[in-house]
Amino acid sequence: MRIALAIYASIFLLLYLYGLLLRVRSIKSDLASHGPRKTYGDLTLVLASGLMFVACYGYVVQRPILHPWFWAAFFVVSVGSLLWSGRFISSLQSEHGTRAGLVAYLVNTVLVLPIDLAVFLYAFRSAQVWQQA
């Protein structure tokens, strides 16, 4: 399971990095159209979501990174963000139509679920990893 998770996370990391590159390249136009608060706030959220890969790889290689309470809090926030994403869906629906928002939400959820599971296992079910620390 860990090998499959590592392969999946690596492919997903490449997709994430590509999206991050596009977001960084569009900062200038985003600043002009949305302002600095929204632009840098969104960029901060994107960078913070990248922490899921750190936890995933920590779980795969069974090495302690940071503290288990950090990953527990990160997991709670990550799952909570799925509930908050209604705002994201409504903005996509207003720009691209009703189906686009729902499809984007479902695709995002399906892509992130294995990584969220790894974060959960790393934070709550990896006592042997945290005993080494």
Q: Are the C-beta atoms of 52 and 119 separated by less than 8 Å? A: yes
Q: What is the pLDDT of residue 19?
A: 84
Q: What is the pLDDT of residue 73?
A: 93
Q: Please state, rounded to an integer, the average pLDDT across all residues of the chain.
A: 83
Indicate if the pLDDT at residue 126 is higher than 70.
yes
Most confident of the ranges 71-80, 87-96, 97-106: 71-80
